[in-house]
Amino acid sequence: MSMFQLSSLFGSFFKKETSVLGIDIGSSTIKIVQIKKKRGRAVLETYGELALGPYASIEVGRAISLQSDKMIEAVKDILREAKTTTLACGTALPLSSSLITFVTVPPVPDKQLGEVVAIEARKYIPVPLNEVLLDWSIIPKEDVYVTDDDSSKTEKMGNDVLVVAIHNEYLNNYQTIMSGCSLNPSFYEIEIFSAIRAVMDQGLATNMIIDFGARSTKLYIVERGILRTAHIINKGSQDITLALSKALSVSVSEAESMKRLYGLKGGPEYKELTEIITVNLDYIFYEANATLLNYQKKHSKNISKVVLTGGGVLLKGFTDIAKISFQTDVVYADPFSKLETPAFLAEEFAQAGPEFAVAIGAALRRLGEIQ
């Protein structure tokens, strides 16, 4: 467990401000962030991370699906250890719990749009619509010059719509966990949107976010701050650990420790370690590059930057391979830069940033709801 409590640094204001939590329950860890608003700025109060493996009697770093009672126990533990002081929160849901698709709907009056979107969405959702929570958003059209002759054609093109469906079973499970911890979430949102809020700046550039988690790697392409495509690669940092354990005939715990300690920087002495890690990363980067190139070809736009999030990207040497693979600007996510934090901890926050992007994004949305 790792965490840092900042109430002593801001103690004189602590009880006068309204604080909120951002909660990210991942496949191998829980991350929480508590922030408050002060003089128009989001101020960090406390944050923490807790490994879930031990709650199922397995190794740290392993992906696990805990029963609700065990998850409630884990969330309570991290709230207590991080010394959180509020129950108001926003909660991120894993991408795997949802279906995200893009549909084009014909021009219709606004009051009929929801019905038309539901009809189109039914083509892509493999379960009855009464079993899911359906949400959607119109994707703004690009600012282009349209002549009088072309305006009628543009109106007939209809609207591109982002559709998100979450199965009620997942929502009910998360509601049970939040209720069991006496937490008061004002929303549940897919982790994609939390991450985008935390790591993207305003601008017209097209960027790719790579979220390298324990169980899987998620790819998001974001244009003008709007999600344009999402893709899951069913391989994550856990796969590297298990491959090392098998190939080197060591325990999973020892393999995890070696991976974290040396990564791709172990030198000649750890040549086999480097080779095993490289093989697994090559597959992930191949899939990511295919997604990137397909988008660029389809939309005739270049990806200007790749932003790295998730605990897996902290592997030593990860960025070196990423820069070679993508041949574009590659940076670590720095979500703590959107918060007011103690300057003397800047280096620690920069290192922790990729792991806390989703939790910070959820907290920022919750804070924005406070008037």
Ordered by start, the domain boundaries in the chain are 1-87+342-371, 98-166, 200-333
**Residue 65 CB coordination number (10 Å):** 10
Residue 70, token pair as written in the block: 């065990």
Identify whether the C-beta of residue 167 lies closer than 8 Å to the C-beta of residue 127: yes
Q: Which pLDDT belongs to residue 156?
A: 57
Query: How far are the Cα atoms of 11, 47, 189, 198, 262 from residue 339, in angstroms, in the given order?
Result: 17, 12, 21, 10, 31
**DSSP character at residue 139:** P
List strands edge to edge, sheet with 132-138: 98-105, 159-167, 132-138
**pLDDT tens, residue by residue, 331-362:** 999 999 999 999 898 999 999 999 999 999 99
Token output for 269: 């002495």
DSSP string, 153-214: HHHHT-EEEEEEEEEHHHHHHHHHHHHHTT-EEEEEEEHHHHHHHHHPPSSS-EEEEEEE-S
Is there a contact between 259 and 238 (Cβ–Cβ < 8 Å)?
A: no
**C-alpha span between 279 and 188 (Å, rounded):** 36
The CATH number, out of the four listed (3.30.70.3190, 3.40.50.1240, 1.10.150.20, 3.30.1490.300), of the domain defined by the range 98-166: 3.30.1490.300
Q: How many Cβ atoms are within 10 Å of 370's Cβ, its own excluded? A: 13
- Return d(Cα 361, Cα 36) in angstroms, integer: 13
Kindly report the CATH number that applies to the domain delimited by 200-333. 3.30.420.40
**Residue 102 neighbours by CB distance under 10 Å:** 14
pLDDT score at 231:
92
Query: Which pLDDT value is given to residue 86?
Result: 96
Identical topology for domains 98-166 and 200-333 = no
> Whole-angstrom Cα distance, residue 237 to residue 12?
42
- One digit per residue, the tens of pLDDT, for the chain of length 371 reads 455 555 444 444 444 458 999 999 999 999 999 999 998 899 999 999 999 999 999 988 888 899 999 999 999 999 999 999 999 999 999 998 888 988 888 888 888 888 899 898 888 888 888 899 988 888 887 654 444 555 444 455 678 899 999 999 999 999 999 999 999 999 999 999 999 999 998 777 899 999 999 999 999 999 988 899 999 999 999 999 999 999 999 999 999 999 999 999 988 889 999 999 999 999 999 999 999 999 999 989 899 999 999 999 999 999 999 999 998 999 999 999 999 999 898 999 999 999 999 999 999 999 999 86
215 neighbors 63 (Cβ within 8 angstroms): yes
Instruction: Decide: 98 and 210 in contact? Cβ < 8 Å.
Output: no
- pTM value? 0.89
Quickly list H helices, 43-109: 68-81
Fold of the 1-87+342-371 domain = Nucleotidyltransferase; domain 5 (3.30.420)
pLDDT tens for each residue of 103-148: 888 888 888 888 899 898 888 888 888 899 988 888 887 654 444 5
Cα(326)–Cα(210) distance, integer angstroms: 12
CA atoms within 13 A on the CB side of 136: 23
- Which pLDDT belongs to residue 356? 97
**Distance (Å, rounded) from C-alpha 133 to C-alpha 120?**
15
Helix axes 252-262, 271-299, angle to 10 degrees: 70
Q: What is the pLDDT of residue 371?
A: 63
